[in-house]
Structure 1
Amino acid sequence: MYVFSRKAWYCMVLTILYGAVLLFTNFKYSHYSKYALTSLTRQLGCVCPPKVPPVNDEDRMDQLTPIVFQGEGDPLFHKDDDDTVARQLKQSVRVLCYVMTDQTNLDTKTIHVKNTWTKRCNKVLFISSVTNSTFPTVGVDVGEGRHHLTGKTMKAFQYIYQHHLDDADWFLKADDDTYVILENLRHLLEPYSPKEAVYFGHHFTPYVKQGYHSGGAGYVLSKEALRRLVINGIPSGKCTIDGYGEDRHMGGCMEYVGVRIGNSTDSLGRSRFHCFAPWKHVMGGYPEWYIRYDANGAKYGQDSVSDFAISFHYVPPGFMYVLEYLVYQLRPYGITMADTE
């Protein structure tokens, strides 16, 4: 028993000594390595890559040069596709697209709208505060900023009525971060007459008895609605000519001149005009104000968005091209899509 305890004692002492040697050696060489590396970097400068903040994908999409997107002008682009119905609708349901923008956005946002969905409008106008003959834009001589959006919109529709009334039957207002699928818009409008006093968009409920349509999601006026706005509404003084909240002021004016809210949901009650980017309407996470305002219950999820969606808002410039690809090129092999809802 005594011998066993003695051997155990010797083993414990040797273990402690061995561990101390290893600890000292590790400290010595790690310290030396640190010293050597510090010395080397002082002589040569830091060889490590600088620390930079991570780049968000959406930020990257906000900073890009215009892209030449293959499309309608290329005779080989999807040459076997049959777009007969879409071409016929383009002739029978004529849409003028008015894109609200400003001078500072032309090269960063508006150019990408110009390169993508607006090519499918029958007529497109980019309306700003000042005229730019190169882009081009139409200037309406109203100050920039959110507090002038109503005045800018009213002046824009006055200009359209005076100069382009016969160029279209329907008149779409959209922002320079809105993406619109024109074929689906014409599909919605086809059963209606432009002689009806009606306008379509994403329906909100407050402020106006019949509600109003979201400005960001885009809204479209019939020719009769445009006529009443310019002839009866604006001169009456009942339509706010300037100020914040362009879409609700437009809604109040539409109600005053007898233009009714049109139902833009599909036959299954799913939304077609959208106030946010596609992922927001699929995944949810709406702000509180939207939940209170939305006339259809602020639904989200794949089953709440129409197969014939018309618009999305807050679309980053780069994602304009992504949507062009997803809508007009991507297809699942072996599946023929039905035209019904």
Structure 2
Amino acid sequence: MEGYIQNNSTFCYRRSVVRAIKLLVLVSSGIMFIKLVVLEKCTSSLGSLYYYDQNYTYRGSAVGTTETGPKSPEKVRVLVWIMTGPKNLQSKASVVRETWGRRANQLLFFSSVTNETFPTIGLNTTEGRQHLTAKTVQAFRYIYHHHLDDAEWFMKADDDTYVIMENLRHFLSQKNTSEPVYFGYRFKPFVKQGYNSGGAGYVLSREALRRFGKQGTDPKLCEQDGGDEDVHFGQCMQNLGVRITNSTDSDGHTLFHPFHPETHFFGTYPRRINFYAFRKARKGFEGISKHAISFHYVSPTLMRLLELYLYHIRPYAN
């Protein structure tokens, strides 16, 4: 479906007027708080609308609008690919497509089976957790061969990951895609430099993808299947000289999140979280960045609610 997506640029930034509010959100599993940043509305606040075609590929600003800032989709191009499967297309992947996925410059879905209607790109794999590594390396290989020049940054996410694309672009606008780097929620065991959580989503620079495309088929450098996808891919990145670098904000608060928003806010982490986490896991406003980028284990219902809270509801400002 063709459509226009209203971006956060409807509200202009004024550094001197930034107020944080807490929005009490009732969800089926309990009560959670979401910290929102309220930005004073500028006098010329018509904002800009972004235009997407039926394949959910960004095609520029709509007629009669302008968006030329350094963090706009034209300036920070991000290709997002979603790991999914045939059973999840209508229940999960379709909701990603109709919510946050529309804000990617290009959105691709990879499955074990090609579905020309949805559409998905079929890979030479079978379903199951033991084959997530094969899905990941084959998907990035496909993107290297077909889309290397279509974006500066390349993000992998699951079909239950929610991403705030505006915050991702803000973060990436300060990074150099010519450097061999990748970003995400950093875990510390098993790989010397650590590795990024698969569920939180991770982002490769173009140089990182280029190195993977050139050498990623070598099983001595990159596992081709089996094991834990994020661990194996992290080892692959290290072997290719791709650095895992800081992915927190200036206050040390987390941007990428491998668990449900409630888990991070209330601190109800798995028992061994600090064995894995590169930085000690914190909770509440002291843990989650006000410019948070991603959360994992987000149900289709919560995805739609997040769209409501983040992109529809606005506090009245005089």
Give the alignment's TM-score, normalised by structure 1.
0.73
Question: Which of 308, 320, 341 is the equivalent residue of 2:291?
Answer: 308
1:292-339, CA deviations, whole angstroms, 9 ceiling, x for partnerless residues?
Answer: 11111011112211010000000011111111111112233338xxxx
CA contact (8 A) 2:71 2:169 kept: no
**1:184-263 equivalence runs, <5 A:** 184-263=167-246
1:327 corresponds in structure 2 to 310
1:213-268, CA deviations, whole angstroms, 9 ceiling, x for partnerless residues?
Answer: 00000000001101111212332532110012100111101110100012110000
Q: How many residues align?
A: 263
2:152 corresponds in structure 1 to 169
CA contact (8 A) 2:260 2:298 kept: yes
Secondary structure (helix, strand or coil) at the match of 1:167 reads coil
Percent same amino acid among aligned pairs?
52
**1:1-341 equivalence runs, <5 A:** 57=28, 84=67, 89-334=72-317
Q: Greater strand percent: which structure?
A: 2
Q: 1:86 to 1:322 in 2, by over 3 A?
A: farther
**Residue 192 of structure 1, CA deviation:** 1.5
Secondary structure (helix, strand or coil) at the match of 2:148 reads helix
Moved over 4 A (4+): 71-74, 85-88
Larger Rg: 1
Secondary structure (helix, strand or coil) at the match of 1:230 reads helix
Supply the AA of the counterpart residue of 1:294. Answer: A
2:17 corresponds in structure 1 to none
For 1:245 and 1:132, the matched residues in 2 are separated by: 26
CA contact (8 A) 2:70 2:173 kept: no
CA contact (8 A) 1:233 1:256 kept: no
Q: 1:88 to 1:285 in 2, by over 3 A?
A: closer
1:50 corresponds in structure 2 to none
Q: Greater helix percent: which structure?
A: 1
For 2:67 and 2:74, the matched residues in 1 are separated by: 11
> Where do 5+ consecutive residues of structure 1 fail to align?
1-55, 60-70, 75-81, 336-341
Supply the AA of the counterpart residue of 1:57. Answer: S
Secondary structure (helix, strand or coil) at the match of 2:118 reads coil
Supply the AA of the counterpart residue of 2:274. Answer: I
CA contact (8 A) 2:145 2:213 kept: no
Give the alignment's TM-score, normalised by structure 2.
0.78
For 1:219 and 1:153, the matched residues in 2 are separated by: 11
Secondary structure (helix, strand or coil) at the match of 1:158 reads helix
Could you say what the CA RMSD is over the residues aligned between the two structures, in angstroms?
Answer: 2.2
**Residue 88 of structure 1, CA deviation:** 5.2
> Where do 5+ consecutive residues of structure 2 fail to align?
1-26, 31-48, 53-64
1:123-173, CA deviations, whole angstroms, 9 ceiling, x for partnerless residues?
Answer: 110000010000000001201000000011000011111111111110000
For 1:259 and 1:167, the matched residues in 2 are separated by: 21
